[in-house]
Amino acid sequence: MMKEKVLIAMSGGVDSSVAALLMKKQGYKIVAAFMKNWSDTIDPITGECSWKEERRMAMKIAAKLNIPFKTLDFEKEYKRDVIEDMFKKYKKGITPNPDVDCNKKIKFPLLIKAAKKLGCSHVVTGHYARIKQNKKSNKYELLRGKDESKDQSYFLYGLSQNDLKHTLFPIGELTKKEVREIAKKNKFPNHDKKGTVGICFIGKVNLKEFLQKKIKPKKGKILNPDGKQIGEHDGIYYYTIGQKIGPKFGIDIKKENKTKPKKWYVAIKDLKKNIIVAAPEGHKINFKKDLIVNEFYLIDKEKKDFIGKKTKVFSRIRHVGELIPSELRQGRNCKRWKITLNKPITGVSEGQAIVLYQKDKCIGGGVISF
């Protein structure tokens, strides 16, 4: 018996290709969709827009699986709601996560809308994550993928109940190795294709050069923890907390102790004074333990259930980063939520996503502030 019709988001990568194969084997009627969200990235070898090469691969897989193929153009929305917003945030001196915004504002809501127009009940993607419906509450829960080294729940914490209700993650129970083996067994031409890195739909770019397209340089001082000037920067927007300092990173300083050189990092960014404070490895100002969580969002719980309580959670501040035992509590009002990590860590920047877990369940997250 033929199951319902679904829309599979095919990127040209191995993960979405295997997701399509698994859905077809399960008896679903499938429509493949390639999202054109960014046409400014050029392949340095061919001189061609990179998205065209990715679409050709997606079309090859769709043809091999004998499923209809469509191209959906969301570039206008992506540039407006993700990239322009990203530039605004960097200009304020904070470090956003465009991949989180892409999933929340573009990928899932627009794909679900397109799916409904095509008579599809669900959107299918190749994310390493899982969705489970709680039998008691009837709400949908987001779980980490089986492959912890590839888990993508960090980027999905902002999905709504409607998004989760209409989404399927068929490879969430598989490891990347298993996915590649399935692709190879089925003679997919992308079975050994490297995974995408960098900004969602844009790819790996020199971030400083990318930001300079919209944000003009503005020179300022680099100080050491004692307030002594040790260098000059060309714009604090181009650098993030925890970033290494050195000539190859585009930002250098004068180190007093040259006999025992230490690694130095961006520790503080003061937008108003246009100052960067740098510190050597191990210095106390590199570490953060108490964080404010803005734009706090819960996937399947109510905020009122957490008010007035100290809740044990695990925090993650970067994709597949360490799951750090933490305590979540409400601040002075409902808009101020606080996370206390059980140990101070480095590389925490304002604007980053902090995602919260209990066991293998992603309960939600927010945006880091100090």
pLDDT tens, position by position, 157-166? 999 999 999 9
Average pLDDT over residues 29-53: 77
Average pLDDT over residues 280-294: 95
Question: Which are the contacts of 71, defined by CB distance < 8 A and separation ≥ 6?
Answer: 33, 34, 36, 55
Q: How many Cα atoms are found within 13 Å in the side-chain-facing hemisphere of 310? A: 5
pLDDT tens, position by position, 83-136? 999 999 999 999 999 999 999 999 999 999 999 999 999 999 999 999 999 999
End-to-end distance of the chain based on CA atoms, in angstroms?
55
Higher pLDDT among residues 198 and 60, named by residue: 60
Q: 77 exposed, middle or buried (CB, 10 Å; 0-12, 13-18, 19+)?
A: middle
Within 10 A of 110 (CB to CB), how many other CB atoms are there?
18
Q: 60 exposed, middle or buried (CB, 10 Å; 0-12, 13-18, 19+)?
A: middle
Q: So what's the pLDDT on residue 207?
A: 83
Name the residue among 94, 92, 83 with its Cα closest to residue 349. Answer: 94
Q: For domain 5-207, which architecture applies?
A: 3-Layer(aba) Sandwich (3.40)
Given CATH 3.30.930.10, say whether it is the number of domain 286-369: no
For the question of residue 362 being annotated catalytic, the response is no
Distance CA 297, CA 362 (A): 11
For the question of residue 102 being annotated catalytic, the response is yes
Q: Is this prediction's pTM over 0.75?
A: yes
pLDDT tens, position by position, 230-284? 999 999 999 999 999 988 888 888 876 665 568 999 999 999 999 999 999 999 9
Distance CA 264, CA 280 (A): 4
Distance CA 308, CA 292 (A): 16
Query: Where along the chain do its domains lie?
Result: 5-207, 216-282, 286-369
Average pLDDT over residues 52-68: 95
| Length of the chain, in residues | 370
Name the residue among 336, 335, 236 with its Cα closest to residue 290. Answer: 336
Catalytic-role residue among 49, 200, 334, 362: 200
Three-class secondary structure of residue 354 per DSSP: strand
Within 10 A of 333 (CB to CB), how many other CB atoms are there?
8
Q: How many Cα atoms are found within 13 Å in the side-chain-facing hemisphere of 64? A: 17
Q: So what's the pLDDT on residue 266?
A: 96
pLDDT tens, position by position, 176-226? 999 999 999 999 999 988 877 667 766 677 888 889 989 999 999 999 999
Q: So what's the pLDDT on residue 45?
A: 47
| Highest CATH level, class, for 216-282 | mainly beta
Question: Which are the contacts of 151, defined by CB distance < 8 A and separation ≥ 6?
Answer: 128, 129, 144, 145, 320
Q: So what's the pLDDT on residue 251?
A: 87
Within 10 A of 302 (CB to CB), how many other CB atoms are there?
8
Average pLDDT over residues 278-301: 95
pLDDT tens, position by position, 327-369? 999 865 556 899 999 999 999 999 999 999 999 999 999 999 9
Tell me, rounded to whole angstroms, the distance of Cα 274 from its chain centroid.
28
Average pLDDT over residues 309-317: 95
78: DSSP letter: H
Catalytic-role residue among 102, 120, 334, 362: 102
Tell me phi and psi for residue 128, to 5 degrees.
-90, 80
Distance CA 20, CA 125 (A): 8
Within 10 A of 282 (CB to CB), how many other CB atoms are there?
11
Higher pLDDT among residues 151 and 247, named by residue: 151
Q: What is the CA radius of gyration of the chain?
A: 22
Is 42 a residue whose pLDDT tops 60? Answer: no
Is 2 a residue whose pLDDT tops 70? Answer: no
Q: What does the block give as tokens for 46?
A: 């061919």
Higher pLDDT among residues 64 and 45, named by residue: 64
Distance CA 215, CA 235 (A): 9
Show the 3-state SS of 291-303: EEEEEEEECCCCH
Long-range contacts of 230-233 (CB under 8 A, 24+ apart): 230/254, 230/255, 230/278, 231/278, 233/276
For the ranges 33-42, 250-259, 317-326, the one whose mean pLDDT is highest: 317-326
